[in-house]
Amino acid sequence: MRDEVYMRRCFDIARRALGNTSPNPIVGCVIVHDDRIIAEGWHKKAGTPHAERNALANVKDADRKHLSQSTIYVSLEPCAHHGRTPPCCDALLQMNPKRVVISVVDPNPKVAGKSVRRLREAGIQVDVGILEQEGRWLLRRFATSMLEKRPYIILKFAQSADGFIGQSDKQVWLSSAIAKRLVHRWRAKEDAILVGSKTAILDNPALTVRHANGRNPLRLLLDRQAIVPHSHQLFDGQTETVIYTSKGSTHLNQTKVECIETSNTNPIQSILSDLQARDCLSLIVEGGAQLLNHFIQHDLWDEARVFTTRKSIGHGISAPIVRGELLYSEKVGADRLDCFINPLNSFLRGD
């Protein structure tokens, strides 16, 4: 169907802004007249025009006479409320297109079908649910934040062929260089990244984007006992960093490093609440095993990306066990990457 072709184009251009729109969703819009794309646009950054207004602004003068006979394809229901930008629904009503095709109704209660009703009441044909499952996948970060009041949580780890995530007394590199580059591309697309104190001490990670293009995520360290030396890379001031500790908020001389006192009984929930307040739509949890297992045991995860390598290390820390729905499995260099989704994520189920 042609509708699916144009909707997939909406998805493709929306992904260009992944990692740059929080707390807004990524959205793509395509305007079609007589089976010809006359303009397209996507939401590029929070506070700037949305996809529909960018698409309308990109219509050439020679094609403006066709707008009332055009079809608007958009990956997410146009907004119906005033935020930092005016409602896109109003812009479409002024344009008065022949038809509007929407993949997913907005989960935001401020919208939630209101634009669909307004457009239909104005006599515009509105079709909803084109490639809806793919559209929900595109929207998963925003929807989880909107519906669950927390970031979309991605667990990421590598395990040896014999089922270990590492060893307690030394750093063990498991995944390949190709996998490492892929992980850095992932980092550039998500809002925050978290490790625990044991991983920070043993591996001394930078948690920055170095082997890909893109901006650094917000670095997070859960260090309840304040045991990670300030000489470690997480305190280098290279990028914005938050240290969560139960030892009380302490003054740090390093720039871009913030220390926050967190609950000793439920520190993970404190972190998630803080990220929600910071408008972070997504979080990568990189370990170690104790931290990953906490998220798994409390069903606080939405997606898990697990590398399995050919290496065996004989003994060590057992890798977490993820019981989710296998979304895909693929080769990444010499490693295998399995991606799981949590079946409890109601939005991805289509509930």
Rounded CA separation 178/138 (Å): 25
Rounded CA separation 274/288 (Å): 21
SS3 state of residue 5: helix
List the 241-245 sheet strands across, edge first.
257-261, 241-245, 218-222, 192-196, 282-285, 152-159, 303-308, 335-341, 325-332
Residues 291 and 334: beta-carbon distance below 8 Å: no
Q: What is the DSSP track for 295-316?
A: HHHTT--SEEEEEE-S---SSS
Residues 309 and 175: beta-carbon distance below 8 Å: yes
Q: What is the DSSP track for 323-349?
A: -SEEEEEEEETTEEEEEEE-TT-HHHH
SS3 state of residue 212: coil
Beta-carbon contacts of 86 under 8 Å, excluding residues fewer than 6 positions away, are none
Residues 262 and 244: beta-carbon distance below 8 Å: yes
Rounded CA separation 158/310 (Å): 11
The answer to whether 52 is a known catalytic residue is: yes
Rounded CA separation 201/270 (Å): 22
List the catalytic residue out of 52, 77, 190, 303: 52
Give the number of C-alpha atoms closer than 13 A to the C-alpha of residue 17, restricted to the C-beta side.
26
Task: Tell me how far CA of residue 346 lies from CA of 17, 61, 140, 193, 282, in angstroms.
Answer: 25, 44, 10, 24, 17
> Could you list the active site residues?
52
